Amino acid sequence: MSISKEQIEQAHERIKPFIHKTAVLTCNTINELAGAELFFKCENFQKIGAFKIRGGMNAALSLSKEKAVNGIATHSSGNHAQAIAYAARQLGTKAYIVMPNNSPSVKVNAVKGYGAEVTFCENNQQAREETLQAIVDRTGAEFIHPYNDDRVITGQATCAKELLEEIPSLDFLLAPVGGGGLLSGTLLSAHYFSPETKVYAGEPEGAADAVLSLKSGKIETAPYIKTIADGLLTKLGDKTFPIIQQYVADILTVSDEEIISTLRLVYERMKIIVEPSCVVPLAALLKNKELFAGKRAGIILSGGNVDLKKFCEWFS
Amino acid sequence: MSISKEQIEQAHERIKPFIHKTAVLTCNTINELAGAELFFKCENFQKIGAFKIRGGMNAALSLSKEKAVNGIATHSSGNHAQAIAYAARQLGTKAYIVMPNNSPSVKVNAVKGYGAEVTFCENNQQAREETLQAIVDRTGAEFIHPYNDDRVITGQATCAKELLEEIPSLDFLLAPVGGGGLLSGTLLSAHYFSPETKVYAGEPEGAADAVLSLKSGKIETAPYIKTIADGLLTKLGDKTFPIIQQYVADILTVSDEEIISTLRLVYERMKIIVEPSCVVPLAALLKNKELFAGKRAGIILSGGNVDLKKFCEWFS
């Protein structure tokens, strides 16, 4: 394994001054419904509203001073863009963010609000990569990939580490899987800090690349992409996949209907705002109660950045 | 003062096994916006989703065993109804709830879900009181008023007590005012446990009876009732008004527009679900920044029971 226990510990010390130690909430009603004892790690309360700041901040803080002055760069329309923008502001350097030209203005404004320079491109992978490469060539900025980067994976691992420190002896941990940064970090932290804890992942049926990759043994593309869990659309990377392959107990898929009813449950019973991608692991647990019955499970609530207008489309 | 420091302390011990010690959250963005350091006591995370369980539980637990077997009763379509229903279930006794026949089914179902017996009546004060009296006469159940009851006020006082224990040396406390149960309890706890802490109340312009009562020196009715803060519509009672008169620093009013923009702020930045009545004190603080500039203020977030459909009417 290329990422060691010590590297995760060092990453945690490195980013601690810049992140929140997020609250762990419990909910009796959901426990009764699940038939298990659940502990929710609330990364929706994290800086920038999502766990992504852990990986982004760790990558940024890992740069040499000479390198950091040139800035950091990425392509993303989601929480990673905000993480890189926020990290750059903390470092006193520049952030260059490439975003598709159809990105919602609320997301563009959030990134600009942290002082980042936004460059728009066509909404396809090639355009994103080429636009980013041109910026890197021009500025010497460091590209920080949203998930396929050991520094990012190591940063995301600190979330499960924190949860396991606060709530020891968990039988299970659950995390969502998109590109696999959070999941592979969670798997590494469970492996190093609580080896008896099994880790399951939740994935939307409408972006089911990871579950297929696990079956075939190579990185697959989702057969179709159609889900409201817009943080989980990407496929795995060559750095995240081997970790997932080695350690994950299983990947459980859920439908958008199940995601929406779980969103409603969390809003109504826990009184917290979470984004659709965030409830995928809880939806998976509620769909597979027999796997977790009578046990203690930690669930990573990954983020809470949701547009109130979209929110209302799901519930009215 | 008829309610002593010791009575609040005893109430707190009495209800502790039945309530949550709710989290205190902070938010850098809102601090920057306010120009003050704010500590939010999250009673939206409380049992039944609101502070009301504190007063209801204290009143119920104060009954003799002989009295308690007859059950407890109230008229309410709001959080107090759920509090009484929940308290009765904890005591293993019956709850009789009188609700107006136009109550939203979501509220009726929540109360029935706790096992309470619901009796419907016409939607006016006389019908409510007569229907309730008939039930009390028939069953011998104890009527627990939503706010004008020393046992209820003493229970609500435990919320500010908890906050002051966790965050000492607050310059200010802020609470909403409807009937005045939470506000008078907050005033008593500040008086007894942190006498240097000034207490302000927030009230909707569309239910501005308390601010007028404070000016005239007698209990007034609001000149008109029109606000989305549906937990704050009632006028003060003869038990709550004298406490408010004696101790409150001031009552600050806010418009529904200000309430909605503060709701949005709390959803988007704190990622928590709160009901309109709940953000009235924060809206009042943001409208009167000069009063609180550079100081430390505790804000009681009173509850999070909001219908997602209504929620979406405000934001779409």
User: Using an 8 Å Cβ cutoff, are A186 and A302 in contact?
Assistant: no
Chain segment B40-50, per-residue pLDDT in tens: 999 999 999 99
Are A5-50+150-315 and A53-143 the same fold in CATH? yes
CB contact under 8 Å between A311 and B309, yes or no, is no
Res. B1 pLDDT band, cuts 50 70 90: low
Report d(CA B104, CA B106) in Å as an integer: 5
With a cut of 50, which residues of chain A have pLDDT below it? none
Report d(CA B97, CA B104) in Å as an integer: 14
Residues 6+ apart with CB under 8 A from A215: none
CATH of domain A5-50+150-315: 3.40.50.1100
CB contact under 8 Å between B45 and A25, yes or no, is yes
Residue with tokens 């109550």: B103
Residue with tokens 């190579």: A218
Report d(CA A66, CA A63) in Å as an integer: 8
Amino acid at A65: K
Residues 6+ apart with CB under 8 A from B97: B73, B74, B75, B76, B81, B84, B85, B111, B116, B117, B118, B119
Q: How far apart are the CA of A263 and the nearest CA of chain B, in angstroms? A: 11
Task: Report the range of poorest mean pLDDT among A219-233, B139-153, B300-314.
Answer: B300-314
- Which ipTM value was assigned to this complex? 0.91
Among the partner-chain residues A23, A264, A315, the one whose CB lies closest to the CB of B312 is: A315
CB contact under 8 Å between A271 and B312, yes or no, is no
Q: Of A121, A131, A237, A112, whose CA–CA distance to A185 is shortest?
A: A237
pLDDT for residue B108 is more than 70:
yes
Put residue A49 in one of left, alpha, beta given phi > 0 → left and psi -120 to 50 → alpha.
left
Q: What value does the mean pLDDT take over residues B176-201?
A: 98
Q: For Cα atoms A293, A295, A298, give the angle at the middle one, nearest 5 degrees.
A: 115
CB contact under 8 Å between B308 and A49, yes or no, is no
Structure tokens at B84: 């009484």
Report d(CA B272, CA B257) in Å as an integer: 20
Q: Where are the domains of chain A?
A: 5-50+150-315, 53-143
pLDDT of residue A1: 60
User: Using an 8 Å Cβ cutoff, are A197 and A190 in contact?
Assistant: yes
Q: Which residue of B has its CA nearest to A106?
A: B268
- Measured between its terminal Cα atoms, the distance across chain A in Å is 48
Instruction: Indicate which residues of A carry an active-site annotation.
Output: 52, 302
Q: Of B185, B200, B188, B199, whose CA–CA distance to B284 is shortest?
A: B200
CB contact under 8 Å between A49 and B271, yes or no, is yes
Q: Of B175, B181, B178, B177, whose CA–CA distance to B156 is shortest?
A: B181
Alpha-carbon distance values, B299 to B44, B202, B257 (Å): 12, 10, 20
Q: Which residue of A has its CA nearest to B43?
A: A271
Report d(CA B90, CA B4) in Å as an integer: 26
Q: What is the mean pLDDT of chain B?
A: 96
CB contact under 8 Å between A271 and B274, yes or no, is yes
CB contact under 8 Å between B316 and A304, yes or no, is no
Show residues of chain A in contact with B267, CB under 8 Å.
273, 308
User: Using an 8 Å Cβ cutoff, are B75 and B101 in contact?
Assistant: no
Put residue B217 in one of left, alpha, beta given phi > 0 → left and psi -120 to 50 → alpha.
left
Mutate to test the interface with B, among A25, A271, A308 (most CBs of B within 10 A): A271
Instruction: Indicate which residues of B carry an active-site annotation.
Output: 52, 302
Domain B5-50+149-315 CATH assignment equals 1.10.260.40: no
CB contact under 8 Å between B311 and A309, yes or no, is no
Residue A57 burial by Cβ neighbours in a 10 Å radius (0-12, 13-18, 19+): buried
Interface of A with B (CB under 8 A): 23, 25, 44-45, 49, 264, 267-268, 270-274, 304, 308-309, 311-312, 315-316
Report d(CA A263, CA B273) in Å as an integer: 12
Mutate to test the interface with A, among B24, B45, B271 (most CBs of A within 10 A): B271
Put residue B48 in one of left, alpha, beta given phi > 0 → left and psi -120 to 50 → alpha.
left
Q: Of A105, A111, A46, whose CA–CA distance to A75 is shortest?
A: A111
> Given strand B72-75, what is the order of strands in its sheet?
B117-121, B95-100, B72-75, B142-143
Res. B107 pLDDT band, cuts 50 70 90: confident
Considering the four listed CATH numbers 3.40.50.1100, 3.40.50.300, 3.30.9.10, 3.50.50.60, the one that applies to the domain covering A53-143 is 3.40.50.1100
Report d(CA B82, CA B224) in Å as an integer: 27
Show residues of chain A in contact with B304, CB under 8 Å.
271
**Dihedral sign for Cα atoms in the order B179, B183, B187, B189:** positive
Q: How far apart are the CA of B282 and the nearest CA of chain A, in angstroms? A: 18
Report d(CA A54, CA A154) in Å as an integer: 9
Q: What value does the mean pLDDT take over residues B75-83?
A: 92
Q: Of A247, A257, A142, whose CA–CA distance to A204 is shortest?
A: A257
User: Using an 8 Å Cβ cutoff, are A300 and A43 in contact?
Assistant: yes
Res. B178 pLDDT band, cuts 50 70 90: very high
Q: How far apart are the CA of B315 and the nearest CA of chain A, in angstroms? A: 7
CB contact under 8 Å between A315 and B304, yes or no, is no
Q: Which residue of B has its CA nearest to A24?
A: B23
Q: Of A85, A88, A86, A65, whose CA–CA distance to A75 is shortest?
A: A85
Show residues of chain A in contact with B25, CB under 8 Å.
23, 45
Chain segment B196-229, per-residue pLDDT in tens: 999 999 999 999 999 999 999 999 999 999 999 9
**Dihedral sign for Cα atoms in the order B227, B231, B236, B242:** negative
Q: How far apart are the CA of A268 and the nearest CA of chain B, in angstroms? A: 7
CB contact under 8 Å between B273 and A274, yes or no, is no
- Measured between its terminal Cα atoms, the distance across chain B in Å is 48
Report d(CA B110, CA B85) in Å as an integer: 9
Report d(CA B135, CA B153) in Å as an integer: 24
Q: What value does the mean pLDDT take over residues B73-93?
A: 95
Chain segment B114-143, per-residue pLDDT in tens: 999 999 999 888 999 999 999 999 999 999
Q: Of A84, A90, A81, whose CA–CA distance to A120 is shortest?
A: A81
Among the partner-chain residues A45, A273, A312, the one whose CB lies closest to the CB of B315 is: A312
Structure tokens at A306: 């949701």
Amino acid at A163: L
Q: Which residue of B has its CA nearest to A305?
A: B268
Q: Which residue of B has its CA nearest to A310?
A: B316
Residue B264 burial by Cβ neighbours in a 10 Å radius (0-12, 13-18, 19+): middle
